[in-house]
């Protein structure tokens, strides 16, 4: 089967850097995505890695190592508004025409003053 594992909770202070890890087991791999979900809201797309390495978008960066089946989301200069749940996701096996995603259980990030 396919599965993703990520920590359930992370706490950090404003201005700090936090890393949220994700390990995955899949049959066939198209890339690793990250989504942010604020309490009561819908998930929104943050980043996508298809190849090994680091992708940077402002304060957020995402890393992928295909050989290790591992990725992480790095949040820098944390702000209170970054308090949210963060989900990693991979494309489902055989999803070339369906686009189905498999999501991790999510990591709740709490940013403290």
Partner 1 sequence: SQTIHQWPATLVQPVGSPLSLECTVEGTSNPNLYWYRQAAGRGLQLLFYSVGIGQISSEVPQNLSASRPQDRQFILSSKKLLLSDSGFYLCASPQGQETQYFGPGTRLLVL
- Ordered DSSP codes for 29-90: ---EEEEEE-TTS--EEEEEESSSEEEEETTEEEEEETTTTEEEEEE-S--GGG-EEEEEEE
The stretch near partner 1 (CB under 8 A) out of 14-22, 39-47, 55-63, 75-83 is: 39-47
Q: Which is nearer to partner 1, 5 or 14 (CB)?
A: 5
Kindly tell me which residue out of 29, 60, 70, 103 binds partner 1, with binding defined by CB under 8 A: 103
User: Phi then psi for 82, rounded to 5 degrees?
Assistant: -80, -10
Kindly tell me which residue out of 31, 55, 69, 74 binds partner 1, with binding defined by CB under 8 A: 31
Cα–Cα distances (Å) from 30 to 2, 26, 61, 90, in that order, read 13, 10, 19, 7
Kindly tell me which residue out of 44, 54, 59, 110 binds partner 1, with binding defined by CB under 8 A: 44
User: Taking CB under 8 A as the rule, does residue 57 contact partner 1?
Assistant: no
Which residues make up the interface to partner 1 (CB under 8 A)?
30-31, 33, 41-45, 48, 50, 87, 91, 97-106, 108
């Amino acid at each position: 089967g396919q599965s993703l594992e990520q920590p359930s909770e992370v706490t950090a202070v404003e201005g700090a850097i936090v890393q949220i890890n994700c390990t995955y087991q899949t049959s066939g791999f198209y890339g690793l995505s990250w989504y942010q979900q604020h309490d009561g809201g819908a998930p929104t797309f943050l980043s996508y890695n298809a190849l090994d390495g680091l992708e940077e978008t402002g304060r957020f960066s995402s890393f992928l190592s295909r050989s290790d089946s591992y990725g992480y989301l790095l949040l820098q200069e944390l702000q209170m508004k970054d308090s949210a749940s963060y989900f990693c996701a991979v494309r489902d096996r055989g999803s070339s025409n369906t686009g189905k995603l498999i999501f991790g259980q999510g990591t709740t990030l709490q940013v403290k003053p």
